[in-house]
């Protein structure tokens, strides 16, 4: 999950960052901004999955920032942090999904994450490809490299072909722990692995992906860790 925290109170930023870091998986990236102007200089549509905005800030308020965001990004989850519900009506105007009251409490932050649905955010996460096309990460089954081209094999028998170095796509996808390269020139999505036998992954589309003998121990360790973490999340 990509999260932006926008607050002109350093202590509040630190507390919120700590609570979120403790609650979220290691793939999550939390970026702090100390005022609205700084945030807007770095923001563009689809940059973040969740934005937590302090309403009472000097110059630009959280509501004003939210209105700018909604001009081009109707989907990002907006959460307001405030000491008062004075702007409740305006929060409906920009389709905010939650109100956090200060001072922050850990249980309150966990309730917020439950409300907006971490799993829903994860499933809907997209990534911007080098050709400018956006693709749903969880729709990718695996990627392979041949003839100087990377092909993303996606659900519904869709494919996306890019003329880019394999390393560029590997760096882009393997930032997320559920993508892994089991052998040279191939990246698999662990969510789409239906089974593993010896040195082969069976994928959801019926493809058989080899596991390099040289990398076998690391690959199987990563896959086991993924499976364990997935089970833990489902039981929690």
Q: For the chain, which domains are there?
A: 2-123 (3.40.50.2300), 126-235 (2.40.50.1020)
Measured in whole angstroms, the distance separating CA 88 from the mean position of its chain's CA atoms is 28
Q: What percent of the chain has pLDDT over 90?
A: 56
The per-residue pLDDT for 124 is: 72
Global pTM reads 0.60
Please name every residue paired with 7 in a beta bridge, in sequence order, or none if there are none: none
Tokens of 207: 């493809």
Mean pLDDT across the chain: 88
C-alpha 169/C-alpha 28 separation (Å) is 19
**In the predicted model, is pLDDT for residue 120 greater than 70?**
no
pLDDT reading at 119 higher than 80 = no
Q: 29, 36, 34, 23: which is closest to 3 by C-alpha?
A: 29
Six-digit token string for 34: 């100390």
Of 159 and 235, the one with more pLDDT: 159
CA 5 – CA 3 distance, rounded (Å)? 7
The mean pLDDT value for 89-107 works out to 79
Separation between Cα atoms, residue 170 and residue 116, nearest integer Å: 30
Q: What number is the average pLDDT over the span 74-85?
A: 82
H or E segment to which residue 68 belongs? helix 62-72
Could you read off the pLDDT of 143-201 as tens digits, one per residue? Answer: 999 999 999 999 999 999 999 999 999 999 998 889 999 999 999 999 999 999 989 99
Residues contacting 165, CB < 8 A, separation 6+: none
């Amino acid at each position: 999950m990509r999260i932006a925290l926008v607050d002109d109170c350093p202590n509040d930023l630190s507390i919120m960052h700590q609570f979120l870091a403790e609650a979220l998986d290691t793939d999550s990236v939390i970026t702090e901004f100390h005022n609205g102007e700084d945030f807007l200089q770095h923001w563009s549509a689809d940059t973040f999955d969740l934005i937590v905005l302090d309403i009472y800030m000097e110059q630009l308020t959280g509501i004003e920032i939210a209105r700018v965001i909604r001009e081009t990004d109707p989907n990002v989850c907006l959460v307001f942090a405030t000491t008062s519900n004075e702007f409740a009506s305006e929060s409906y105007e920009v389709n905010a999904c939650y109100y956090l009251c200060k001072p922050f409490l850990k249980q309150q932050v966990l309730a917020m994450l439950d409300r907006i649905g971490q799993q829903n955010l994860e499933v809907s996460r997209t990534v911007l490809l080098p050709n400018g096309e956006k693709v749903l990460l969880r729709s990718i089954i695996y990627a392979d490299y041949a003839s100087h081209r990377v092909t993303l094999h996606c659900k519904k028998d869709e494919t996306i072909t890019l003329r880019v170095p394999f390393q560029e796509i590997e760096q882009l996808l393997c930032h997320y722990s559920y993508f892994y390269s089991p052998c040279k020139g191939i990246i698999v999505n662990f969510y789409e692995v239906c089974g593993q036998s010896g040195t082969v992954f069976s994928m959801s589309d019926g493809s058989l992906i080899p596991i390099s003998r040289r990398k076998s121990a690391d690959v199987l360790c990563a896959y086991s860790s993924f499976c364990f973490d997935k089970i833990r999340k489902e039981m929690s």
